[in-house]
Amino acid sequence: MKDIATPTRTKEILNKYGFSFKKSLGQNFLIDPNILKRITSEANLSKETGVIEIGPGIGALTEHLARTSGKVIAFEIDQRLLPILEDTLQPYNNIKIIHKDILKANVQSVIEEELKDYKELMVVANLPYYVTTPIILKLLSENLPIDGIVVMLQKEVADRISAKPGTKEYGSLSIAIQYYTEAEIAFIVPKTVFMPQPNVDSAIIHLTKREQPAVFVESEEFFFTVTRAAFAQRRKTILNNLTSQLPEGKSKKDMIIKALETAEIDPSRRGESLSLQQFATLANALYPSFA
């Protein structure tokens, strides 16, 4: 069977349906079957794996997922793509397309209805770049029974997600995602393998869900509030950022100084120098004063 993801076949499909790309939906279709094989290989799928895909486009990645996994549930927001997917994915009986915005969908109930019989659950997708971060954070924060996430996103965002303390890429996004997962960049994808070509290179990132979060925190919500505050202005010290960004921070400056002392963190340090564990210790020390 001829792959969807070749330049010729992609053009044929687009011409047949008179499809035009919507920039607002971040549509860039992959036209290299080798990249798709590498993605499915990275996800290590089997017939005992249920897969959630987001933004299937014309089905290029979807068909590779269907060949290597037990069942694929794909969320597509663009109604114009539904008849195309019905046509291109006709040979496969283990795919279900859901016409919904993943950010508004009740993913837990979809898993219970469609994927409860599978031993493993993976999210594998070429994510629309403009909503990459909200999608990943939704999937992780809702405590879904997902084992891992293998997604394509902008290389710059992948660098931030997998960044280590002390680097310029490290920030509140690195902490939020590494709190739930072990993150590593699997490989880089050049912009030349897309139609239309994006302006930036992409990367495949592999997030392996931790059985327990990386650190213990009294309140996840407050922990993330603290980490976002710490990076609000990267050049400012941790003390200055927390004082100006936390609710009532200015009037509680003494409490912030005390919490930094308890956590053994020099107030003149910058957020990027703190490890995940140090942020957890700090958030837990601050929590009684701000709860």
Domain 220-290: which CATH class?
A: mainly alpha
Sole residue written with tokens 């219970």: 112
Say yes or no to pLDDT of 88 above 90: yes
Q: What number of other Cβ atoms are within 10 A of residue 216's Cβ? A: 11
Residues 6+ apart with CB under 8 A from 239: 256, 257, 260, 267, 268
138 vs 107: CA distance, rounded Å? 10
* DSSP code at position 166: T
Amino acid identity of residue 230, one-letter, is A
Say yes or no to pLDDT of 103 above 70: yes
Query: Please, which pLDDT band fits residue 162 given cuts at 50, 70 and 90?
Result: very high
Q: Where are the domains of the chain?
A: 7-209, 220-290
Residues β-bridged to residue 206? 150, 184
Binding residues for S-adenosyl-L-methionine: 28, 30, 55, 76, 101, 126
Q: What is the pLDDT of residues 149-158, one digit of tens each?
A: 999 999 999 9
pLDDT of residue 270: 96
Domain pair 7-209 / 220-290, same fold: no
Say yes or no to pLDDT of 147 above 70: yes
More confident residue, 195 or 252: 252
Q: Domain 7-209 belongs to what architecture? A: 3-Layer(aba) Sandwich (3.40)
Query: Please, which pLDDT band fits residue 1 given cuts at 50, 70 and 90?
Result: low
Binding residues: 28, 30, 55, 76, 101, 126
Tell me the whole-structure pTM to 2 decimals: 0.94
Q: What is the pLDDT of residues 227-267, one digit of tens each?
A: 999 999 999 999 999 999 999 999 999 999 999 999 999 99
117 vs 92: CA distance, rounded Å? 19
DSSP string, 61-130: HHHHHHHHSSEEEEE---GGGHHHHHHHTTT-SSEEEE-S-TTTS-HHHHHHHHSTT-SEEEEEEE--GG
pLDDT of residue 168: 94
Residue 49, φ and ψ in degrees, nearest 5: -100, 130
Say yes or no to pLDDT of 129 above 90: no
Contact 54, 75 (CB under 8 A): yes
Q: What number of other Cβ atoms are within 10 A of residue 143's Cβ? A: 10
Name the token pair of 221. Answer: 């919500």
239 vs 83: CA distance, rounded Å? 55
Query: Please, which pLDDT band fits residue 73 given cuts at 50, 70 and 90?
Result: very high
More confident residue, 183 or 21: 183
pLDDT of residue 195: 86
Least confident segment among 11-15, 215-219, 221-225 = 11-15
20 vs 60: CA distance, rounded Å? 17
Q: What is the pLDDT of residues 267-278, one digit of tens each?
A: 999 999 999 999
pLDDT of residue 26: 67
Query: Please, which pLDDT band fits residue 25 given cuts at 50, 70 and 90?
Result: low
170 vs 163: CA distance, rounded Å? 5
Query: Please, which pLDDT band fits residue 285 given cuts at 50, 70 and 90?
Result: very high
| Average per-residue pLDDT for the chain | 95
Query: Please, which pLDDT band fits residue 119 given cuts at 50, 70 and 90?
Result: very high
Summarize the confidence of residues 173-177 as an average pLDDT.
97
Say yes or no to pLDDT of 21 above 80: no
Residues 6+ apart with CB under 8 A from 100: 75, 76, 77
DSSP string, 199-240: SS-EEEEEEEEPSS-SS--S-HHHHHHHHHHHTSSTTS-HHH
What angle do helix axes 220-230 and 238-245 make, rounded to 10 degrees?
A: 120
More confident residue, 287 or 25: 287
Query: Please, which pLDDT band fits residue 64 given cuts at 50, 70 and 90?
Result: very high
